[in-house]
Chain A
Amino acid sequence: MTKTLRWENLDTGLALLDERNVVVYANPAFATLLALETVSGRPAITSWACDLGPDTRQTLERRLCSNEAGAVTLNEQAPNPVTLYIGASRDGQRLVVGARGWPVADDCGLAAQLDPLTGIGNRLMYERHLATLCEHAVRPAVAALMIDLDRFKQVNDTLGHAAGDELLRLTADRLRKLTREDDVLIRLGGDEFLVLQTDARQPDAAHGLAQRLTEVMSRLFLIEGNSVEISASVGVAMLGHGTAALDDLLKHAALALYQAKGLGRARYCVFDPDLEARALARHQIEFDLRRALGLREFVLVYQPQNSTRDGRISGFEALLRWMQPVRGPISPAEFIPLAEEIGEIHAIGAWVIRSACFEAAGWADPTLTVAVNVSPVQFENDNIIQIVSAALKDSGLAASRLEIEVTEGVLLTESPEVLERLWSLNRMGVSIAMDDFGTGYASLSYLNSFPFSKIKIDKSFVQSEHSSRSQALISAILAIGTSLGVTTIAEGVETPDQFAAIRAIGCHSVQGYYISRPMPAEDVADYISRFDPEPFLRHAEQEQIA
């Protein structure tokens, strides 16, 4: 009796059922919860289910028929529905607990919001959490830290997927240890994690955690008996610190993460609006670049190459220009690296070779050469051989008139396939020139690895030729050229003095604004017919006498 009295005073709704599911007892809290005047002495199903929908009624009936424990939520559409926790039937008795809210076992779909591998939240939890934050009247102080492991793939590939999974579990554990109780931990997928910091002092808290995360993640893991050293990159975005809308938080954190990766990994970057502007600009230029060839926005301009001995034109270098209708002319230095990254270089490069061959085949002087720049990326497969031979065949240009200019980058990988491709072109009769010599590794072994026909001395040496160091370097490059039997050309010759100095020092050819700026293809024929080397030579000789 004393027990019953205590039940009377309880805040929790309790009911006891007999083997026929008749309510033996229900406390006042239970009656209040179900909005019933009295429930004792009547079968549970008839008294409780009076205003339930058919589905809920059926679920309740099924649950009561079974002797196992379970939970039923009544009026699921209600904002704060009543859930009945029905205990297992033992000795003809079972206890029912009634409470407001969703069943704990399902806890608002909590199970569906958890990542089964790591036990932290998944993307769904992130979305639910974001939705909750959106309801706040005052803009919450929230920071998103997106974390990506830097060498996860290597761990997966070398130690296997089980080791990879263990690494993800240990990573989640480290995140738990480094974060506060009310931070939300999410595994976005793969090796990408997210920490949502709410109600912390920003930006300090996010900086502190990001710093700590990158440091701790670079510390060794023990995985299946192996020592594994990885690192993590972190991108941070904070509401009110560069990010205005909650919906942009994840996107901005991802952009900052991308930047952290680009800066060499194992570090964190904080989003700033410039980053987004740059990313958008890059996206736009990428979009335009993919269409540029189709829209015929590329043109080739030609710059003469002249002999220093008699000043005559020996050939032209074909230079690529992108005439973008909105942004105007874009320099190759700007768009070629992007074209290489997105693979568009293959199509653009093929067009350049083909167009230059057709153009040169039309020049009146059949001894003039045409030099074409080919990216190291184009040497990654055998297509380059096909492209060159087809261009020569279709244009009718003699192979000896085509010169492919490559940078040291081509030989950087020291791949035998790349060398073989250079040899294939060489066997066709095409000459191969080493471009920008002296600016990269300037490795003599590169010069030794292939019979280059020409070394191009970079303009940085030419334009500072008054310094004795540059003079010495140019002399050394020329000496190497002479002993290897390779001709030399100086590019970027802009002044009469530079021309005279380069000529005096014994370089074979020159190219640069002093002789002529690059010109449109249609001007080349006229330029050739009217070119007079005399003024250049006269000036150079006067310089020497002086």
Chain B
Amino acid sequence: MTESLYRLVYFSRNALAGDAEAVRAEIESILECSRRNNAAANVTGALMFNGGCFAQVLEGPYGAIQVTLERIQCDARHSGLKVLAFDRRSARGFAHWSMAYVGAAANVDRFAHIAKTSAFDPSALDGEAIYDTLKANLADSALA
């Protein structure tokens, strides 16, 4: 018997301080931490970010999602977290943990390697309205 699979999609404001380089270092540490914790908890997903926002998709068993969310909720590096979707899924959309920069073109190069090293697959975000909403939110915050 396999455990039911859940998906949680949230969006939050980036509270990271410092210049782009400091942010990059912080993001890499978040990514590293996510990989470690989430692999152990059987959680996969995607973290998208730009200068102003984080958007994250978490997939996994209910208990693991709850624990992960609680950890994220107490993280001071972001605020104004909004859960956009929480539902049961039949299959994972992200087989691995991945991460991508979605935002102002000027910074795309700076963060490109993160997407590359995390094997971010943009196609996994296509076809579902919730991902379009996520991307739109990220784009808005990049403009602001």
> Which residues of A come within 8 Å of B, CB atoms?
170, 173-174, 177-178, 212, 215-216, 219-222, 225, 227
Contacts and interface: CB of A to CB of B under 8 A. Distances in A.
B73 to A, nearest CB: 4
B62 interface: yes
A222 B69 contact: yes
A174 B70 contact: yes
A222 B66 contact: yes
Q: Which 10 A-B pairs have the closest CB atoms?
A: A177-B74, A219-B73, A222-B66, A220-B83, A219-B81, A227-B86, A222-B69, A174-B74, A216-B74, A227-B83
B86 A216 contact: no
B73 A216 contact: yes
Contacts of B66: 170, 222
A502 to B, nearest CB: 54
Contacts of B76: 212
Contacts of A222: 8, 62, 65-66, 69, 86
B81 A220 contact: yes
B79 interface: yes
A225 B83 contact: no
A215 B73 CA distance: 10
Interface in B42-74: 62, 65-66, 69-71, 73-74
Contacts of B6: 225
Interface of B: 6, 8, 62, 65-66, 69-71, 73-74, 76, 79, 81, 83, 86
A212 B15 CA distance: 13
A173 B67 CA distance: 10
Given A215-B79, A227-B83, A220 B73 contact: yes
27 contacts: A170-B66, A170-B70, A173-B70, A174-B70, A174-B73, A174-B74, A177-B71, A177-B74, A178-B74, A212-B76, A215-B79, A216-B73, A216-B74, A219-B81, A220-B69, A220-B81, A220-B83, A221-B70, A222-B8, A222-B62, A222-B65, A222-B66, A222-B86, A225-B6, A225-B62, A227-B83, A227-B86
A178 B65 CA distance: 20
Contacts of A177: 70-71, 74
Nearest to B85: A227
A12 B10 CA distance: 54
Nearest to B74: A177
Residue of A170, A215, A222, A225 most packed against chain B (CB within 10 A): A222
A220 B74 CA distance: 11
B8 to A, nearest CB: 8
Nearest to A226: B86
Nearest to B4: A225
Given A216-B74, A221-B70, A227-B86, 16 more contacts: A170-B70, A173-B70, A174-B73, A177-B70, A177-B71, A177-B74, A178-B74, A215-B79, A216-B73, A220-B73, A221-B73, A222-B8, A222-B66, A222-B69, A225-B6, A227-B83
Nearest to B88: A225
Nearest to B10: A220
Residue of B8, B65, B70 most packed against chain A (CB within 10 A): B70
A174 B65 CA distance: 15
Residue of B73, B79, B81, B83 most packed against chain A (CB within 10 A): B73
Residue of B65, B74, B86 most packed against chain A (CB within 10 A): B74
B110 to A, nearest CB: 30
Contacts of A215: 79
A126 B85 CA distance: 40
Nearest to B83: A220
A173 to B, nearest CB: 6
Contacts of A174: 70, 73-74
A215 B62 CA distance: 24
A227 B71 CA distance: 16
Residue of A178, A216, A219, A225 most packed against chain B (CB within 10 A): A219
A227 B8 CA distance: 10
A174 B81 CA distance: 15
A269 to B, nearest CB: 21
Nearest to A219: B73
Contacts of A173: 70
A227 B85 CA distance: 10
Nearest to B86: A227
Contacts of A178: 74
B18 to A, nearest CB: 20
Nearest to B65: A222
A170 B72 CA distance: 13
A170 B70 CA distance: 8
A215 B75 CA distance: 11
A219 B79 CA distance: 9
B11 to A, nearest CB: 12
A219 B70 CA distance: 9
Nearest to B76: A212
A173 B74 CA distance: 10
A312 B69 CA distance: 75
Nearest to A224: B62
B61 to A, nearest CB: 12
Contacts of A170: 66, 70
Nearest to A212: B76
B59 to A, nearest CB: 14
Contacts of B71: 177
Contacts of A220: 69, 73, 81, 83
A178 B71 CA distance: 11
A294 to B, nearest CB: 54
A216 B71 CA distance: 11
B88 to A, nearest CB: 8
Contacts of A212: 76
Contacts of A225: 6, 62
A349 B123 CA distance: 71
B102 to A, nearest CB: 23
A221 B69 CA distance: 8
Contacts of B69: 220, 222
B121 to A, nearest CB: 26
Nearest to A225: B62
Nearest to A215: B79
